[in-house]
Structure 1
């Protein structure tokens, strides 16, 4: 069985298995020598079950059925951080590995309780809904050498419905971050260089305006202000607004499906004021905590790089308050305002 097939099997088994991760000593010793195979289990399942059942009102059986398959679907190539990506066969959920210890340890130990509390108080939060966190409770050679990832987040797939849409090829996605920063990830990668193909995907541009009513815009900005306040409080930078738009033509006839859960307007879809598009938006990639060792080490490295190159402000060396300010300003500029010129501007953005 190949690497991806092993990861897929382990994820599906963890979702369905109530095992608490305990094994006999001999099995534990033998497991340590595994290189490709891995065993995963749910981390703090009570927290995520409360979020799914009570806060987001997921249909429990529907959620389970999404993982009632023989395999998951690998999607795309490795990301810049080395992450692996899968979707469920019904495309409702996306599974992403977190290979960096600074990121998965931060979320598990420092952010999870704050995230769960924020979601409980703000059920329509646009932080992406993380529905499960899977980890390997025992170490093995494969995970130590980062051959097989030992930590995975299961989250909503904001592109759900694309496969059922006869205009699916016309869906557009934008991973947007403040253009006022320089993004050194394109040149420095924590000790390794990414391929040119991966680097090219780091740059998104949105060459249009988001056209919605003032009320709809205010709903988005107010929610992003609340969500980014949480991220500032836990000292996170480098998150992004994942913006999706797809043609509104015949949208009723196409009956694009939704996940059976509590809806929120910008998550389900907002129709543009000119009737051309449906917009969706969530916040992604909120795992880069400024105080973690990897982030601090990269800050020192990149500041040295910046001293020589003079590239200016950088996304991962700034503080959380400044990043939040520029993030909200970036989102504000995406909207079309009354009496504003139709002249287009490019908003260069990077995905980490």
Structure 2
């Protein structure tokens, strides 16, 4: 871990292990504290945003033991320095990622201001209400939101993120496997691939290098083979989950699909540990019909609002490109389409990749096509 990552890790851990009282929350920082904090470049002071709300989600809604949650951030070796584990840049947005030492939780920075404000101001209350009513929701479980309560130079110049989310790690259990077995785990960040992606589509895809285009969008080269009931459970839950995203005008979210060989969980001593908290089939693992794979799935990256300034600007750019290419229609992008259109295409994508059998044991078609007008009423 480099010096920058170590300092960011230290800032995060200080916030996790410091429980603010209500008096601390209500008391504004002094002028001197603000000035001192502003000149922080890497090690910026972070606080837990609405910590009682997230604690209630963890303990009551998701049934995560609080002591176990806190201990996840400590080193398992006594006397050893506690640090988060840096896992590099896993996304296209420039976010930094860490895992807790026991790999139960993943930490992701939110470097873009419009993502931070959208989640805090528009989505969070709806997210909490939805989770309380749907504790097995497949929206990724966000267990903490850390933020810088005052402006800092580090956040302004981009050397240290001012916001981090702590969320469940659906890959939990991979690190307990041998190195050879870890290579058998597969992950797919799935979005509808029929949108316009300028980095991929303009000028034969020469707008960006291959290393960038490879992270734009994943394609699942197989089918998810489950029972009719398991597919119905997935579609029904995603209908409910995407409804609150549509209502909040969110687009560009993805289905994060994990699969690993079922043989890794069979036999003596090969038990893959389950992610913590209240169990649900698709989150903790479903065995494929042919007994070859175990699938896990959650819904990720729901921080982009269709009506954000960035989305509006990009819509204008796409329209300008179409005009300059004499009316060739290359839009919309996944981040500029309407929320209801994105939801419809997203659900159809999921319906397409999940395969069930008919009564004769042959692969069947769609279990149910979720038209926008029908799915918009699901709650």
Confirm or deny a common fold (TM above 0.5): yes
Structure 1 residue runs of 5 or longer lacking an equivalent are 343-352
Rounded to whole Å, the distance in 2 between the matches of 1:251 and 1:81 is 34
Match of 2:338 in 1: 319
Which position in structure 2 is the counterpart of 1:210? Answer: 224
Indicate if the aligned counterparts of 2:191 and 2:217 stay in contact, CA closer than 8 A: no
CA contact (8 A) 2:196 2:332 kept: yes
- How far the C-alpha of 1:35 sits from its partner, in A, is 1.8
Q: 1:33 aligns with which of 35, 39, 57?
A: 39
Q: Alpha-carbon deviations, 1:94-148, whole Å to 9, x = none?
A: 1001111111100001110000000000000000000000000011111112221
* 2:118 counterpart of 1:118: no
Matching of residues 146-225 of structure 1 within 5 Å: 146-166=158-178, 167-184=181-198, 186=200, 196-225=210-239
Distance 1:222 1:206 in 2: 21
Q: What residue number does 1:279 align with? A: 295
1:331 alignment counterpart = 350
Structure 2 unaligned blocks of 5 or more: 76-81, 366-379
Q: Is the 8 A contact 2:318 2:332 kept in 1?
A: no
Aligned length in residues: 338
Q: 1:187 to 1:179 in 2, by over 3 A?
A: closer
Ranked by relative contact order (alpha carbons within 8 Å, sequence separation 6 or more), the top structure is 1
Query: What CA RMSD, in Å, does the superposition of the two structures yield over aligned residues?
Result: 2.0
- Taking structure 2 as the reference length, what is the TM-score of the superposition? 0.84
Match for residue 83 of structure 2 among 48, 71, 79: 71
Q: Which moved more, 1:310-319 or 1:31-40?
A: 310-319
**Alpha-carbon distance change, 304 to 250 in structure 1, aligned in 2, over 3 angstroms:** same
The CA deviation at 1:300 is 1.6
Deviation of 1:31 after TM superposition, in Å, equals 1.9
For the pair shown, which has the larger CA radius of gyration, 1 or 2? 2
TM-score for the superposition, normalised by structure 1: 0.91
Contact 1:62 1:260 in 2 (8 A): no
Matched, 1:5 2:6: yes
User: CA distance change for structure 1 residues 291 and 171 in 2, over 3 Å: closer, same or farther?
Assistant: same
| 1:266-313 CA distance string (max 9 Å, x none) | 000000000000000000000111122222222222332344453243
Q: Does the 8 A contact of 1:80 with 1:194 survive in 2?
A: no
Aligned residue in 2 for 1:259: 275
Following the alignment from structure 1 to structure 2, what is the Cα–Cα distance between the partners of residues 204 and 45? Answer: 35
Distance in 2, Cα, partners of 1:40 & 1:187:
40
User: Does residue 251 of structure 2 align to residue 268 of structure 1?
Assistant: no
Among residues 254, 257, 268, which one is paired with 1:240 in the alignment?
254
1:9 and 1:197 map into 2 onto residues whose CA distance is: 30
SS in 1 for 2:176: coil
| 1:85-104 alignment runs, 5 A limit | 85-104=97-116
